[in-house]
Amino acid sequence: MNTKIKNLMVIALLLFSISAFSQEKKEMKTMPFHLSFITPIGTNGMESWNTINKVSINIYGGYSGGLDGFEAAGFVNVLKGDMRGAQFAGFVNADLGKTKGAQFAGYVNFNKDSLSGAQFAGFTNVITSNAKAVQASGFANVVVGSIDGAQLSGFVNTATEDSKVVQLSGFANMVKGNVTGFQGSGFANYSQGNTLGQISGFANANIGDLKGVQLAGFANVNTGRLEGFQASGFLNVSNKLKGVQLGVFNYVDSLESGLAIGFLSVIRNGYRAVEVSTNESFYANATFKTGTRQFYNILSLAGSERDNRLIWAFGYGVGTTLTISDKTDLNIEGIVYHVNEDEWHTNRINELTKVQTIATWKFSELASLYGGPSWNIMVTDTDHNNEAFESELPPFSVFEKTYSNGNKVTMYPGFTVGVRF
C-alpha cells in the first residue's frame, strides 16, 4: 500500500472518529500511559476521546480527550480538550482546546482556543485565538487574534488584532492592529495601528503612528505621526514627522521638527522659495527650492550668451539656511550645472559647480532681496571622441589647467544677486 493511500486512510479514520465522538459528554478520566496504532485501535479503545493521557504514543495517529504530559505520533495528533506539555507529530498536531506547552510538527500545528507556549512546524502554525507564544515555521504563522511573543517564518507572519510581537519573515509580515514590537521581512511589512519599528527589503506601510524606525529598500509609508527615523532607497511618506527622513524622494504633510534629506523633499509646511537672479556666468536664472530650512533641494534653469552663442544650463544643488534675525538670513549653497553651448544638449562633460554664500533681507511679507559671493569650478572634456571643444562660459579665470585625460579645470570667483518670493 503506497504512502498516499495510507495517509488518506488515516485522515478518513480520524475524521470519522472526530465526527462520531466529539460530541460525547462523558466525564474525562486520566490515564498514565496510552499506546495506539490509530484511534480507536489502542489501549484506550473507544474511550480515547474521553481520556486525558499523561504519556501517549500513537504509531500512526491518535485522537484523545486531552494531554497532561507528552504525546508523539508518526503522522497526526488530535486533542478534543486541553493540552499541557508537549506534542510531536510527523505531520500534524491539532488541539481543539487550550494549549500550555509546545507543539512540534513536520507540517502543521493548529490550536483552536488559546496557546501559551510555542509552535514549531515545517510548514505552518495556526492559532485561532489569542496567544502568548513563539511561532516558528518554514512557511507561515497565523494568529486569528492577538499574540504576545514572536513569529518567525520563511515566508509570512500575520496577526489580526493588536499584538506585542517580534515578526521576522522571508517575505512579509502583517498585523491588523497596533504592534508593540518590531517587524522585519525580506519584502514587506504592514501594520494597521501604532508601531515601534519596521525593516524590509522592499516596502513598509503603517496605518497609524510610528515611534521608532522605518527602513526599506524601496518605500516607506506612514499615515499617522512618525517620531523617529525613516529611510528608504526611493520614497518616504509620512503624514506628520518629528525626526528625520532619508531617501531619494521624501514627502511630509506636516513637519513638527527635524528634516528630510534626499534628492527632492516636499514638506507642505516646510521651506519653499522661487527666485530670479543673475550672476557672472548666467545673465538669467530661475530657481526653485524645497525642503526644510536646515536642508533644502535646489532646482535651477539658467541662460546666457557669448559671442552670439546661446548658452543654457540646468542645475541641481542643496543648501541650508542660518537665521540671523527676523528679516535677515544667511544661505550656504552648492549647485552643479550641466552647461549646453549653442545646442540643445552638449553631450560631453561640461559642468559648472557653484558654491555660494548669500545674505538675504526680507523687505516685505512676500519678497526678499539677496546677494553674495561665489566660487566657480568649471570642468570640461576638451577632447571628446576626437573632437576638440572649448567652453565659452567662464568670463575669466584665476586658475586654468588641462589634465592628461583631456579634462580642463577652470576656477574663478563670482557673485549672485536676486529676488526671492
Q: Can you give the pLDDT of all 421 residues of the chain as single tens digits?
A: 566 655 655 555 555 555 544 445 567 888 899 898 988 888 888 888 888 989 999 999 999 999 999 999 999 999 999 999 999 999 999 999 999 999 999 999 999 999 999 999 999 999 999 999 999 999 999 999 999 999 999 999 999 999 999 999 999 999 999 999 999 999 999 999 999 999 999 999 999 999 999 999 999 999 999 999 999 999 999 999 999 999 999 999 999 999 999 999 999 999 999 999 999 999 999 999 999 999 999 999 999 999 888 999 999 999 999 999 999 999 999 999 999 999 999 999 999 999 999 999 999 999 999 999 999 999 999 987 777 888 999 999 999 999 999 999 999 999 999 999 9
Cβ pair 301, 313 in contact under 8 A: yes
Q: What is the DSSP letter of 138?
A: S
∠288-292-295 over CA atoms, to 5°? 85
Does the domain made of 271-420 have the CATH classification 1.10.10?
A: no
Q: Which pLDDT does position 26 carry in this prediction?
A: 63
Instruction: Report the 10 Å Cβ neighbour count for 1.
Output: 6
Q: Which pLDDT does position 25 carry in this prediction?
A: 52
- DSSP states of 288-345 as a string? EEEE-SSSEEEEEEEEEEETTEEEEEEEEEEEEEEE-SSSEEEEEEEEEEEEEESSS-
Q: Which pLDDT does position 305 carry in this prediction?
A: 93
Q: Which pLDDT does position 241 carry in this prediction?
A: 97
Output phi, psi for 7, to 5 deg: -65, -40
From 397, 390, 380, select the one nearest 280 (Cα to Cα): 397
- Unique residue bearing C-alpha cell 483552536: 112
From 296, 312, 411, 303, select the one nearest 358 (Cα to Cα): 296
What is the CA 160 to chain-centroid distance, rounded?
Answer: 20
For residues 297-317, one letter each, b for 16 or more C-beta atoms within 10 angstroms of the residue's C-beta and e for the rest, the string is bbebebebeeeeeebbbebeb
In the chain, what are the domain boundaries?
Answer: 1-138, 271-420
Strand 284-291 and strand 271-279: the pairing is: antiparallel
Q: Which pLDDT does position 12 carry in this prediction?
A: 54
Q: Which pLDDT does position 302 carry in this prediction?
A: 98
Adjacent-strand bridge partners of 317? 298, 335
CA atoms of 192 and 306, how far apart (whole Å): 60
Strand 156-159 and strand 140-143: the pairing is: parallel
Q: Which pLDDT does position 254 carry in this prediction?
A: 96
Cβ pair 147, 162 in contact under 8 A: no
Q: Which pLDDT does position 47 carry in this prediction?
A: 87
